[in-house]
Amino acid sequence: MKYAINHPWKFESWATAFWIGFFQMGAVVSVELVNLAVLITNETLKSTIMNFLALVIISEFDDYLFVTVKRDPLSRLIVKGEIEWFSGQIRTLEEITLIETTSSGDARFPINTLKDGQPSPNAEYF
């Protein structure tokens, strides 16, 4: 979510990227809260184990989705850490997710901070 806010020029719609991250985080927190509530309210060890395993399976649905898109170029980028870009050059995951700017007041270099929601004009981009 912070990456989308700090790098709006990298997205067609940075707000969409932000909300996708927000809802994914909300789903994880919700599953964890339900997990805690179910485990606390169980009376027997058997029901505790069964409910815990059911919630583990539910929380791993995103892994099943990832398996279905295994041949997609972006999933190969995540698994292998690099991808052949459209122009034939190799791009790495670290290069693509490089933090170029930040909204943090504790930024290490002033050149990497956002000014009025825009990156510094002296920032270097690849």
User: d(Cα 6, Cα 18) in Å, to the nearest integer?
Assistant: 10
Q: Which residues form the domain of 63? A: 1-68
pLDDT in tens, 17-30: 899 999 989 988 98
Q: Are strands 90-92 and 82-84 parallel, antiparallel or unpaired?
A: antiparallel
Is the pLDDT higher at 50 or at 71? Answer: 50
Average pLDDT, the chain: 77
Q: Is 51 exposed, middle or buried (0-12, 13-18, 19+ CB in 10 A)?
A: middle
Domain shared by 14 and 31, yes or no: yes
Q: Are strands 114-115 and 118-119 parallel, antiparallel or unpaired?
A: antiparallel
- Closest by CA to 56, choosing from 39, 21, 31, 36, is 31
82 within domain boundaries: yes
Q: Which residues have C-beta within 8 Å of that of residue 58, sequence separation ≥ 6?
A: 31
Domain shared by 34 and 89, yes or no: no
Q: What is the structure's pLDDT at 65?
A: 75
Q: How many domains does the chain have?
A: 2
Domain shared by 13 and 64, yes or no: yes
Q: Is 7 exposed, middle or buried (0-12, 13-18, 19+ CB in 10 A)?
A: buried
Exposure class string for 88-104: b at 16+ Cβ within 10 A, else e: eeeeeeeeeeeebbbee
124 within domain boundaries: no
How long a stretch of residues is the chain?
Answer: 126
Q: What is the structure's pLDDT at 26?
A: 92
